[in-house]
Amino acid sequence: MSNKLEGFVKNNKKEFEVKGPSDELWNRISAELDKKQQKKTIKFYQWMSIAAMLVISLGAYLTFSYQQKDRSIDVADVSRSYGKQEVHLASLIEEKKDSLQVHAKDNPELYNKFMTDISKLSTDYEELKKQLQTSPNSQALVMAMMKNLDIQLQVLNEQLMILNQVNQYKKENSI
């Protein structure tokens, strides 16, 4: 078989060199090359799936970042027992403040002085609470917060005791 092919090529060698490929063959080759060079277009459903993927990704990112911003650290997050203690002290402080307010009618000047002291301590407590969000040593900061609440409670107890003594003195001297 290879002898026949070699023989055919030898016999027709001149025709191959002279003729070359036909014009029709060149036209078909050119048409195929033109088809391959045309850009592939992305269909509508492909664009929609890309857009949907972007929307889902953006939604997931925004949800995650919103949850991170909204998350704040509370005393109970650091220590459960301190969380309970904070609630207990805060309720006692509010109770004592209400008691002071009852006595405010009799001694408004003294009440205003007392409330100035308590508001300073409350401001300090709120500042400590803000620092808790970024503090690397949250345990020590929570202990300072508990100490502040304890001091507020002690000050309120002393203020109530002073108000009671003042009221007692006024009653004794008015008789």
Q: Residue 146: how many CB atoms within 10 A of its CB? A: 19
Closest of 81, 97, 65 to residue 146, by C-alpha: 81
Tokens coding 89: 């002290």
* 89 close to 153: Cβ distance less than 8 angstroms: yes
Mean pLDDT of 107-124: 85
Please report where in the chains the tokens 């207990």 appear, as a residue. Answer: 88
pLDDT at residue 133 above 70? yes
SS (H, E, C) 85-137: HHHHHHHHHHHHHHHHHHHCCCCHHHHHHHHHHHHHHHHHHHHHHHHHCCCCC
Determine the pLDDT at residue 130: 84
Question: Over the stretch 27-51, which tens digit does the pLDDT of each residue have?
Answer: 887 777 766 655 556 678 888 888 8
